[in-house]
Amino acid sequence: MQNFKARLKETVDWCGRRFSMSDLAGSLRSEVLRPSLNIVTAVDREQTRQAVWDLIGLRSKLLENETTSVPSGLGYRGTYLLNGRLLAHFPSISLSHGLSVPETGGFIDEDEVPPWDTWVYFVDDFLISWVPGNLESALKSAIDCNPEESLCWLSDVSHGFVDDVRREGLL
pLDDT cut 70: percent of the chain above it: 91
At 146, the amino acid letter reads N
How much is the pLDDT for 43? 82
Looking at per-residue pLDDT, the higher value among 79 and 67 belongs to 67
pLDDT at 107 (0 to 100): 97
Write down the pLDDT at residue 81: 52
pTM equals: 0.91
In total, the chain counts a number of residues equal to 171
Which amino acid is it at 13?
D
Say how far apart CA 135 and CA 146 lie, in whole Å: 16
Q: Which of 119, 130, 151, 101 is nearest to 48 (CA)?
A: 119
- pLDDT at residue number 67: 66
**How far is residue 10's CA from residue 59's CA, in Å, rounded to a whole number?**
8
pLDDT at 65: 87
> Per-residue pLDDT averaged across 16-26, rounded?
93
Per-residue pLDDT at 68: 58
For residue range 85-119, what is the model confidence (pLDDT) as tens digits? Answer: 999 999 999 999 999 999 999 999 999 999 999 99
Amino acid 33 reads L
Give the per-residue SS3 of 119-148.
EEEEECCEEEEEEEHHHHHHHHHHHHCCCC
Question: What pLDDT is recorded for position 16?
Answer: 87
CB 87 within 8 A of CB 151: yes
Q: At what angle do helices 2-18 and 45-64 cross, to 10 degrees?
A: 70
